[in-house]
Structures are given as C-alpha cells and as structure tokens.
Amino acid sequence: MRIAISTLPLTTGHKDRGIGTYTRELVETLKRHTSRHQFVFFSKESEIPKNADVVHYPFFDPFFLTLPVFRGKPTVVTVHDLIPLVFPKHFPRGIRGEVKWQVQRKNLAGVTHVITDSECSKRDIVRLVGLEEAKITVVPLAPPASMTPMRDPATLAATMEKYALPNHFAMYVGDINWNKNISGLLHAWQRVTARRFLPKDAKLILVGKAFIEPGLSEALAIEETIHRLRIEDSVERIGYIPREDLRALYMLSHVCVFPSYYEGFGLPILEAMACGGVVVSSTAASLAEVAGPAITVNPESATDIADGILKACRLPTQQREDMVDKGITWAKRFTWAQVAKRTISVYESLAKPV
C-alpha cells in the first residue's frame, strides 16, 4: 500500500503542541516499524500522490477549515477531542466559528474512517458529528520512548540548579484552557500552603508555554488568581521547557497534578508516570481510561485536590517507591509501536476490496 500522511502540523504553531507531537511520533514510528507499506508525506494537497491508496490527516479542528472538501481516495482523520463543542459556554465560537464548524462537520462526516484517542472522545464524535461507531477506531496515545526515569544524579542536580527549584515541589504540565482547571489547582495549592504540612520553600511549578505568553487572556486570569489568593511566593510559571529537562523534573517532583474537568486523552499523566513521577489526577472523561495507579481526586473540589497533593507528598518511602513502580509499569502498556500497529490496521481495512 502507498499511504499519504499530512505533516502540516510540523510546519505550523502546532509543532510543539499535542497535535505536533502526535504527528511527529506517528511518522517516526511508522518509518521504523514497518516495511511492507510505502509512506509519502505531504503538507499541501497538491503533493498527494495520485496513486495513494489511503490519505491520513492526523489532525482536526472544528473551527478551522483543516479538511479538503473533495476527496477521491479512502481518507482517515484523527480527531483527538471535541472539547470546545462539549462545553460551548467556555469556548464561544461566534458566527464565523459556527459556519466553519458546519463545514468541518460535513467534511468529517464524509471521511472513510476516524481515529480517536479514547472511548470518551469516540462517544463525543458519535453524539456531536453523527458518525456511526463502526467508522471510528480508538487508538490510545503513548509517551515518547525517550520519557524514562532520569537516574543520573549530576543531570538531576544540574536541572534543579537551572530552574532554581526547591527541594519540595508539585508540578503541573500542560495548557491553560478552561478544561485544564488551573483555577481549581491554584485554590487547592492555597489550601495546601495554609495547612503548613510542607516545608516553607515548597512550590507549585506550572510548566507550559501559554503560562508566560504576554497578553493571553487565560494567562492574565491565572496571574490575577495567584495574586488574589496571595500565593505569589509559592507558585512559579516557568513556561516551555525541553523534553530532556521535563524528564528530569517529572522525576524530581514530589507530585505531578492533573486536575482537568475534561480531556480527550491526558498524555502528560503517562509521561509523568513513565519518568517515575507520582501522579494526582482527576478521573473525569477520558482520564478514567488513563489514570491507572494515580491518586484520584474530584476536579470540582479544591479541597479534594489539596488532599490528593498532600497524600502524595507525605507518602512513606516504601509506598512512594511502590507507586512509582506501578506508574512505570502502567505507562509501559502504552507504546508508539502499538499506536503504529493499530493505525496500520485501519489503513489496511480501508484498502481491502468490498
């Protein structure tokens, strides 16, 4: 088979975001793990080979015209989530957005098959797009193979010094959209610091490019909440950090917290576990499929999130080691080799004669 895959996300602002990571990992894994098919990569429609058997668009945005109107070949589209449509109050689309969504919805309904990350997202696609379940295949994501426990003391010490980290810190990694529940996390951290169970220099580290983007309304709201709660001295926003540094931070942190209201998958949870981090997670939406051995909390309750953070930070040494081992074992169940294998199965099912 000749399979054409769009690499457009690797040339746009999505390069260092979730869609870019998915595209890059999928492309590289397909190159390494299969030889019976030919893969061709394109960023413009004009570059799609006429003799392609299947065309794959590994991205979808409900409010941008990312799909072509006409397709003459079996076409696969990856839809990671439809969160803005699930919560329209928190993601207002406006008139233009509504028009584009109707176009995108029509185009998506016309594709041959859809891949999505979780059973939760599959249910949303069925409900909001109207696709038949048989046209949707769930292919869970996986942490990059490089995300493993960092054991080198010198590297860990250098990373601590590079980011001026305290000996005790909790960490959040990700975006700042409403569904991430950063406000709930900050209120929880205020409760943690008020109880004074942790050292005075303990901090909450917020990792993600959006936290320090100037003028971004969500970032400004987060800054205002930090000041209102008077936790400026114990919260630090360090923006984007390279993957190797992130690997060390997962290992160094006392707890990685992911209190989302809703997710299409929740990859940072698996990344944290794969690197030896102890995780506190909501089990809302798809996170119930991903959280595994994490300490679970109710995202609607700042007190419950605070209790989860304190539980993780105060684990006895042996219990902590056991939880780390369980997390590493759980994360190993999710591999890019499996992602590639299941994706190829979708391709092959579409190329079979009817």
* DSSP-assigned states of every residue in 282-334: E-STTHHHH-TTSEEE-TT-HHHHHHHHHHHHT--HHHHHHHHHHHHHHHTT-
How big is the CA angle at 226 (ends 223 and 227), to the nearest 5 degrees?
A: 90
**Cα within 13 Å of Cα(123), Cβ side:** 9
43-47, 248-252, 294-298, 318-322: lowest mean pLDDT where? Answer: 43-47
What mean pLDDT value characterizes the chain? 94
Q: How confident is the model at residue 354 (pLDDT cuts 50, 70, 90)?
A: very low
In the β-sheet with 113-116, what is the strand arrangement from edge to edge?
A: 38-42, 2-6, 54-57, 75-79, 113-116, 136-138
- Rounded CA-CA distance 341/347 in Å is 10
Average of per-residue pLDDT across 14-36: 86
Summarize pLDDT for 150-188 with one digit per residue, the tens: 999 999 999 999 999 999 999 999 999 999 999 999 999
Summarize pLDDT for 69-105 with one digit per residue, the tens: 656 789 999 999 999 999 999 999 999 999 999 999 9
pLDDT at site 273: 98
pLDDT at site 16: 73
The H or E element that residue 144 is part of is none
CB 124 within 8 A of CB 85: yes
- Rounded CA-CA distance 189/29 in Å is 39
36-50, 253-267, 293-307: lowest mean pLDDT where? Answer: 36-50
pLDDT at site 126: 98
pLDDT higher than threshold 80 for residue 352: no
pLDDT at site 241: 94
Domains, in order of start, for the chain: 2-142+335-351 (3.40.50.2000), 153-331 (3.40.50.2000)
- Rounded CA-CA distance 79/234 in Å is 37
Average of per-residue pLDDT across 208-214: 94
Residues near 215 by Cβ (< 8 Å), separated by ≥ 6?
Answer: none
pLDDT higher than threshold 90 for residue 262: yes
- Length of the chain in residues, anyone? 354
pLDDT at site 353: 52
